A = this chain, B = another copy of it.
Amino acid sequence: MDSFDLRILKEISRDSRKPLKEIGKAIGIYSASAISRRIKEMQENNVIKGFKAEIDFGKLGYNFVTATFVRAKYGIEYHDIVAEKIMKIKGVIDVLFLLGDIDFYILCATKTKDDYVIILNELEKITEIERSDTHTVLNIYKYHDIANIF
């Protein structure tokens, strides 16, 4: 991994269909096959996990987006199990395990308030959960902008 790799990552994490030539021009490597080889290597060692279409779920009507903070019961030992159950609930797109007075951060997207109640009911069925605290997301300014890390 060198700085060329990072710059390639930056490019393709924004647009994976950008022509190799253009990427090359942007980063100063003029051989498309060299770029192609580097991408393949990064796929092989799993730095690149895959390629995805970026979807505007708001445009699809999934406008009731919520950030939920979950506290698991203490002494359960099995955060993985709780996480596993949460992850399976339809509509859940982020599940992070945090240090502090909150255990999990969950991001959900549903079409309506009532659809979110269904998720809430599913969460309430997970007996290892002690409390949840849900905030309606008013605006998504930025989401999953990995290119901003490098």
The count of identical subunits is 8
The 0/1 profile, CB within 8 Å of B marked 1, for residues 79-115 of chain A is 1000110110011111111111110010101100100
Beyond A54-B50, A54-B51, whether A75 also contacts B126 by CB under 8 A is yes
Interface residues in A, total, Cβ within 8 A: 85
Question: Which residue, of A65, A87, A145, has the highest number of chain B Cβ atoms within 10 A?
Answer: A145
Q: Which residues of B contact A49 (CB under 8 A)?
A: 54-56
CB pair A143 B141 closer than 8 Å: no
Asked if A57 is an interface residue, CB under 8 A from chain B, the answer is: yes
Asked if A137 is an interface residue, CB under 8 A from chain B, the answer is: yes
Asked if A33 is an interface residue, CB under 8 A from chain B, the answer is: no
